[in-house]
Amino acid sequence: MKVIELKDVVKKYGDFEAVKGVTFNIEEGEIYGLLGPNGAGKSTLINMICGLLNITKGEIFVLGQSMERGSAKVKSKLGLVPQDIALYNNLTAYENVKFFCGLYGFSGSELKERAEKALKYVGLLDKANSTPSTFSGGMKRRLNIACAIAHTPKVIILDEPTVGIDPQSRNHILESIKKLNEKGATIIYTSHYMEEVEAICTKVGVMDHGKLIAMGTKEELKDSVSNINTIVVTLQENQEIKTDGIKDIEGITNVYCEEGIVKIDSYKEVDNFDKIILYFTDKNIKIKNIENKTPNLETVFMSLTGRTLRD
């Protein structure tokens, strides 16, 4: 089932086109990563999906309902974790979650239970009675997430939820997202960190300059840019070795050796790792390290745009 459908969506701020005709669908159960550098148009796009920004042109459907006419009923099935932390500093963590969840019509004991459950989910139950002003950046982000999920939305949208936080909170957030997805929520996750998208997302849309320039599973995207892995062999001694024999191994397309490092390009689908290692052991060449470098999402972005994600 399609949870989100975008048809040729355009957003203009005055004369500036921040989103330039984006079309894609998100299926139920996905963790969909929107990957792109700062300014690519990710926030603009998801704010339109949530009905927080008007669409200049095109159409967005959330759970089958047009967002232009987005009723409160559809909005209640969405949970947005915005990039800017939105919390009340004069309320405790528990009161913050109750406030946001209460906006969806919950009250009484159900509201209390939901608030406690959401705080537990993000690992902040023991801080329920503290105010966010005493929290670290990572804890504030986790509280932000609790506020967005207490009404158990079907679709959870997180806009760069790990920017500027400590590694422990980052891991906690990534684990929480996976758990929410296992429990049935469809997730949209924007990030300019390819490692995070790589770690948790099932599908990826790559955005640049307001356009969706590629989409698919991680494997599809990687395969689309290269069918070659590079095997990097670091020798124990800084030496030049003869590489002719390596070139003759099935599947190898290129070999170069420089300052004790041998780089071997090989077709991904050919299983030749054993033969490569045998070449070195046969010649009694001592290996310090061997690494199989497969293309990653950064390679994908580079090959599509000629830039890195953090240029």
Binding part of the chain for ligand ADP, among 32-40, 63-71, 101-109, 246-254 by CB under 6 A, reads 32-40
Nearer to ligand ADP, 39 or 260 (CB): 39
Residue from the set 9, 22, 30, 36 that interacts with ligand ADP by CB under 6 A: 36
H/E run at residue 289 = strand 287-293
- Could you give the CA distance from residue 42 to residue 28 in angstroms, rounded to a whole number? 20
- Listed in sequence order, the residues at least 6 apart from 18 whose beta carbon sits closer than 8 Å to its beta carbon are 11, 12, 41, 44, 210
Binding-site size, ligand ADP (CB under 6 A)? 11
- Could you give the CA distance from residue 248 to residue 28 in angstroms, rounded to a whole number? 48
Nearer to ligand ADP, 20 or 77 (CB): 20
Nearer to ligand ADP, 70 or 205 (CB): 205
Nearer to ligand ADP, 16 or 291 (CB): 16
Spatial CA neighbour of 259 closest among 237, 276, 277, 274: 237
Q: What are phi and psi of 290, to 5 degrees?
A: -140, 130
Nearer to ligand ADP, 118 or 157 (CB): 157
DSSP 77-134: TEEEE-SS----TTS-HHHHHHHHHHTTT--HHHHHHHHHHHHHHTT-GGGTTS-GGG
Taking only Cα atoms into account, the Rg of the chain, rounded to an integer number of angstroms, comes to: 24
Q: Check: CB of residue 129 under 8 Å from CB of residue 108.
A: no
Residue from the set 23, 38, 90, 294 that interacts with ligand ADP by CB under 6 A: 38
Spatial CA neighbour of 119 closest among 103, 130, 109: 130
- Could you give the CA distance from residue 187 to residue 46 in angstroms, rounded to a whole number? 12
The CB-of-192 to ligand ADP minimum distance in angstroms stands at 7
Residue from the set 22, 43, 128, 153 that interacts with ligand ADP by CB under 6 A: 43
CB-based burial label for 6 (10 Å; 0-12, 13-18, 19+): buried
Nearer to ligand ADP, 33 or 132 (CB): 33
Spatial CA neighbour of 194 closest among 304, 66, 73: 304
- Tell whether residue 165 is a contact of ligand ADP (CB under 6 A): no
- Tell whether residue 54 is a contact of ligand ADP (CB under 6 A): no
The CB-of-250 to ligand ADP minimum distance in angstroms stands at 44
Binding part of the chain for ligand ADP, among 31-39, 68-76, 178-186, 276-284 by CB under 6 A, reads 31-39
- Tell whether residue 39 is a contact of ligand ADP (CB under 6 A): yes
- Tell whether residue 41 is a contact of ligand ADP (CB under 6 A): yes
The CB-of-146 to ligand ADP minimum distance in angstroms stands at 23
Nearer to ligand ADP, 30 or 160 (CB): 160
Residue from the set 42, 172, 218, 222 that interacts with ligand ADP by CB under 6 A: 42
Question: Position 259: which residue type?
Answer: E
- Tell whether residue 191 is a contact of ligand ADP (CB under 6 A): no
The CB-of-152 to ligand ADP minimum distance in angstroms stands at 26
Residue from the set 4, 5, 33, 44 that interacts with ligand ADP by CB under 6 A: 44
Which stretches of the chain are DSSP H helices?
42-49, 72-75, 93-102, 108-121, 137-149, 167-182, 194-200, 218-225, 244-247, 273-282, 297-305
> Binding string, 4-23, against ligand ADP, x = CB under 6 A?
---------x--x-x-----
| Binding region for ligand ADP (CB under 6 A) | 13, 16, 18, 36, 38-44
